[in-house]
Amino acid sequence: MFGSLLRFFREQAGMTQEVLGRHVGYSKSQVAMVERGERPPKGQLVTVADEVLSTQGALIAAGATLRVSRFPSWFEDYAELEARATAVYMYANHLIPGLLQTESYGRATFDVHCPPLEDDEIEMRLAARLDRQRVLARKPAPIVGFVLEEHTVKRPLGGRQAHKDQLSHILEVGRRRNVEIQVMPTDRHIHAGLDGPMILLETDDPDRVGYVEGPSNGYFVSQQPDLGNMFARYGILRAQALNPEESAKLIDEVAGKL
């Protein structure tokens, strides 16, 4: 809401993001992030923008009740649903999912973000990602399952030590009674997940919902037959992947070579 108001008043004043940025000490991209709701307004942005855009206190009033989320705006609804889910199932094909990431590994994923993130943005997103992991130990415990492509556990994001620590953490989490972690070997001749990564959630409503995340957005899948097809694909993926014991052995072997 605040970002939309800022953009409205800026455009009404005929001012570009670059010019507004010079007034408030922001870059053009930082102003754009505030307007998209991806970055909270910090410093003197609210008061200075209210003055230079002649909003007569509107931005100050909006800023006073601003609720700042540590998640990107498009991810908020998913994070809220995940936090209260009774079951979470994830298939990951390019990196270790956030619920399994260590701090070093998570920081490495943000460090290579394109376009580059500001330092404070990295810290905020990293803290939010690590905080999400509380769902694994929540009581009553949810059922949590992961199917990871083999190359996700072999990709050394963050360097050798960060990689080794990450694999050790996966093995530790996998020992929880409510968590199952499976690895999909790269030598499989059949594969049910070629359409890409997906997340499946169950809540106590009881409701089922799917979630598909892209580079800068995500969307829910709640209608049939698409939702049923996602659950069917995940079930087949579990059957095609190594079982949890075999997966732990593979991950341990990879870690042992580091």
- pLDDT computed for residue 68 by the predictor: 62
Q: According to the CATH classification, is domain 73-256 in 3.30.870?
A: yes
Confidence band (pLDDT; 50, 70, 90) for 107? very high
Buried b (16+ CB within 10 A) or exposed e, 42-60: eeebbebbbebbebeeebe
Question: In angstroms, how far is the first alpha carbon of the chain from the final one?
Answer: 48
Average pLDDT over residues 97-126: 92
Confidence band (pLDDT; 50, 70, 90) for 98? very high
d(Cα 22, Cα 19) in Å, to the nearest integer?
Answer: 5
d(Cα 131, Cα 134) in Å, to the nearest integer?
Answer: 6
In the 8-state DSSP scheme, what is residue 73?
A: G
d(Cα 25, Cα 23) in Å, to the nearest integer?
Answer: 6
Domain ranges within the chain, ordered by starting residue: 2-64, 73-256
- pLDDT computed for residue 140 by the predictor: 92
Which 3-state string (H, E, C) describes 126-145?
HHHHHHHHHHHHCCCCCEEE
pLDDT tens digits for range 47-58:
999 999 999 999
Average pLDDT over residues 216-236: 94
Confidence band (pLDDT; 50, 70, 90) for 1? confident
Average pLDDT over residues 146-175: 97
d(Cα 227, Cα 213) in Å, to the nearest integer?
Answer: 15
Class (C level, CATH) for 2-64: mainly alpha
Whole-number average pLDDT of the chain = 92
